[in-house]
Each structure stands twice: as structure tokens, then as C-alpha cells.
Amino acid sequence: MKPVQFNNTVLRDGHQSLAATRMTTAQMLPAAPILDGMGFAGLETWGGATIDSCLRFLGENPFDRLRALKKAAPQTPQLMLLRGQNIVQYTSFPDDVVEAFVRADAAAGQDIFRVFDALNDTRNLATAIKTVKACGKHARGEICYTTSPVHTVEAFVKMGVELRELGCDSIGIKDMSGVIAPRVAFDMVTQLRARVGLPITLHTHDTAGLGAAAYLAAIDAGVDIVETSIAPFANGTAQPDTLRMLALLEGHPRQPDFDRRKLAELREYFTGVYKELGKFTSPDNERVDSDTLIYQVPGGMLSNFRNQLKEQNMADKFDAVMSEIFYVREALGWIPLVTPTSQIVGTQAMLNVKFGRWKTIAPAAADIALNKYGRPPGTVSPELIKLIADRTGQKPIDGRPADALAPRMPKLREELAAKALPTDDEACVLWAMFPQEFAKLHAPKPAAATTTAAVIPTPPPVAPVPAAPLPPPGPGAHRYRLTIAGQTTEAVVEEI
């Protein structure tokens, strides 16, 4: 029996799940060569929230991070997480921007692209997958796992077949909330192997304490790869720890061979990094939390929601908002809760509890109901569609959402040229997604003092420039600050 393989996630999902995506390239580089020599099938190092975090919080160019990590760990394939047509943002981009992003990323050294869509609408994955293949890279089509009356093993297997037809090299089961039960993992892997026939990876989180058991069941069913991290950036809301997973496989015919001494060294190294990032870690994320099973929402979303409700003076409404999430999800056709839908459903549930059901509809929630994010897995509430039509005159769309978007690359290049910024594909895609942060990255740095302080007086400290405040909400509008998985967004939600 072939040993199971491990991908390691410590450099992406590990710190995204437990330390608000704040690990810097400098903190990663010492560990990269050791990770490279361990025999992992892949290292997840990029995508998800890391690009946003590099630009917004760390002042790093994310493509430079990838190049540095490729140089430090050249042997092991590196993985990224790509949100299909959303790339690594919350809204849809035209095909030419998605293509340019994949091309630039492939050129910078990316090997494996984990491509997913929050609605599991494979039309939103087609452009990315096609481009990954055109670049000669590995496309791993992800099935977002969630539980609902419409999410049966049969439906997931059907999606697996679609992903194979789109040209994927392998299939990933992406259990972002850590809610897959071991027996379901066993059944899904068994069915996907029998009917899709591509290599399968299971990706889960230990949020509810099911992760390692789900991996074990999937390994029994013949899964090719499972994804583990390195403690303390492991367990809790992140992936199970590699050493822990090895111990769990003791005596198992598929136990892989890893140097445990080196793994212990890595754990020691990352313990230091975890301490450095102490401001961004929380015991709430480290412990097993079965609430995620009760409320059926991702663990990270739960802990952030508790804080947000406190900020909105709605702490006593926690149970009401949580059950409203369930209701909103059903009304929106049982969409999986993963970025960006988790943010959208969470906000709408909060609005419903605060102002009454559908009294205020967030534009993004209306867009989901109108199929603007893609086809929801179940039926959208006809009452909600009617309500939106009555208030805005908008009707649901039929086609692939990106078909409605005009190409943007020539315009992006023009805009960058006008600002005397770089105009290559890398610059264009970052500019398209994070214009302010990208411009800040290229802003001239203050010149460093080169002579003695005795000659040149020390300049007074420069006060940080506060971010431009949002305009005050107009009549019928409300302002919300939403933090999910360490990312804070502020939005004025208009009433429609």
C-alpha cells in the first residue's frame, strides 16, 4: 500500500488561521530549506489572504515573497490558494485579469494552483484552470465541503467529474470549516476515487477537533495527500500538526516516513515565531470548539463575530445572529460559507437581527440572490428575489458572471503608466485588486541618513497619516466594520 503523502501548510494556512496571516517572509526563510528537505509532497506558501496581508500590513511585495521562497526551497512544489474568478479578492474580475494573474504567478515559480469557487460553480473556475494548464502547471480543482440538505456526497462527486472535464490534474476536498465527519470523508474519497479517478487531497481544519480523525478515515479510503502544519501554527482553527498526524498513523500500513528530529526542530523554530506574533494569536483559535458544529459556521468567523457583536453592542444577540446565519444561508440557496460568502452572509444576518429580516439588504447579499456570484447550489428564496426586484428593479442573471465584465488589462496598464508605476502583469494584477496598497508599496521611501547625527539634525518624528475616513453614512445607510480571519473591512451598507 502506498504511503500517504503530506503537504505542509505552515507558511500559508497555518499562520492565516492562527496568527491573522502576519508571518513575514523574513520569519519564513530560515525554515524554508528545512521544510524543503523533509519529503513533503508540497508546501503551501501563497494565496488566500497572504497577498492582501503582504501589501496591507507587512509592506512586502507578495511576488518577491514567492521568488524568495522558491529560491530557499527549490525542490518541493509550492501551492497557492486561488479564489477562481475572485483571484484573491472579494469580487469578480474579468477573464483577462485572471489570466494575467495566473501567468505572472506561474512565472514567479508557483507549481500547484488550488482553485476554488465559494459557490462551487465550476464556470467560475474554468478560466483559471485553463490558464494554469496553458502555463504547464498543476491545477487542483477544489470542492468546498459544507453541510446542507443539497450538499450530498453524490453532488460533490458530480462536481468532481466536472472538474476533471475542465482539465484538473487532481481534486481537493476543501473543508474550510473543519466540519467533515470521518465517515463522510471516507465515503467522499471512496466515491471520488471510483468515479473521478484523479489524485485526491483532503484539506481540513481542526476547529471542531475532527481534522485528524477525518484524515485517518480518508487515508483508509485511499486519499493520496492530506495537509498538515507545524505546531504551534497547527491544530485548533489550522491543520493538524505533522508530528501528531504521524503518531496517529503509527502501525498504519500507509504511515509515511518523516525525520521526527527535524520536525521537532521546526516546531521549536516556529514556537519562537509564534511568540513574536503573539499580538495576533488567540486562545479562542487554539482550542477545539464544537460550537462550529452547532452553528455550522467556520471557526475563525465565530471568534471574530463574538468581537464584532460586542463592538455593535449586540453581544446579547449572539444566538439570534447565529441562527439567522442559518436562515440567510438557506434563503441564498445554501451557499457554502467561505471567503467571500462567509463575510456576506455574516453581515446580512447581523443586519436582519438588528433591523428586522430583509429590512436592510446588503448589496453583496442581493448580488448572491441575483446569481451575480454564480449559481447557488440550492434554490434562492423567491420572496427574497421579489423583494429585491421591488426595491431595485433588478432580476437574477442567467449567464456566467464574468461574461458581463469587460477586459481590463489595457486600462490597468494605462493607469499604471500614468502614475509612472511598473506596468507588467504583476503590477497590473496587484493594482487591480489592491490599488492603494500597491501604490503605497511603490511610494518613494524617505532617504536614510548617511552622515553623522552631529551634522544633520534628527528630523522630527513623522506622524502616521490616518486612513481617509469613509464618508458619513447617508440616510438609510449604516456603517459596519467587519473582521473575518484577521482582515478588517469597513463598509457603508446602503439600504435597498
Q: Which residues bind Co ion (CB under 5 A)?
A: 13
Could you tell me the smallest distance in angstroms from the CB atom of residue 98 to Co ion?
Answer: 21
103 in helix, strand or coil?
helix
H helices present in 151-204, as ranges: 153-165, 182-195
Compare residues 12 and 65 and give the one whose CB is closer to Co ion. Answer: 12
Q: Which residue is nearest to Co ion (CB)?
A: 13
Compare residues 13 and 52 and give the one whose CB is closer to Co ion. Answer: 13
251, three cell numbers: 502501525
H helices present in 57-152, as ranges: 62-72, 95-108, 126-134
Compare residues 176 and 380 and give the one whose CB is closer to Co ion. Answer: 176
Could you tell me the smallest distance in angstroms from the CB atom of residue 298 to Co ion?
Answer: 9
In Å, how far are 84, 140, 222 from 199, measured between CA atoms?
Answer: 20, 9, 10
Closest CA to 260 of 272, 274, 249, 275: 249
Could you tell me the smallest distance in angstroms from the CB atom of residue 49 to Co ion?
Answer: 10
Compare residues 84 and 333 and give the one whose CB is closer to Co ion. Answer: 84
Compare residues 336 and 401 and give the one whose CB is closer to Co ion. Answer: 336
Could you tell me the smallest distance in angstroms from the CB atom of residue 110 to Co ion?
Answer: 17
Compare residues 97 and 144 and give the one whose CB is closer to Co ion. Answer: 144
Could you tell me the smallest distance in angstroms from the CB atom of residue 205 to Co ion?
Answer: 6
Place of cell 471567503: 339
Q: Which region holds residue 222: left if phi is over 0, alpha if psi is between -120 and 50, else beta?
A: left
Could you tell me what percentage of the chain is helix, strand and coil, using 3-state DSSP and rounding each to the nearest 5? 45, 10, 40
Alpha-carbon gap, residue 162 to 168, rounded angstroms: 9
Q: What is the DSSP letter of 442?
A: T
Could you tell me the smallest distance in angstroms from the CB atom of residue 44 to Co ion?
Answer: 9
Could you tell me the smallest distance in angstroms from the CB atom of residue 226 to Co ion?
Answer: 12
Place of cell 507587512: 58
Compare residues 16 and 352 and give the one whose CB is closer to Co ion. Answer: 16
**DSSP per residue over 405-417, as a string?**
SPP-HHHHHHHHH
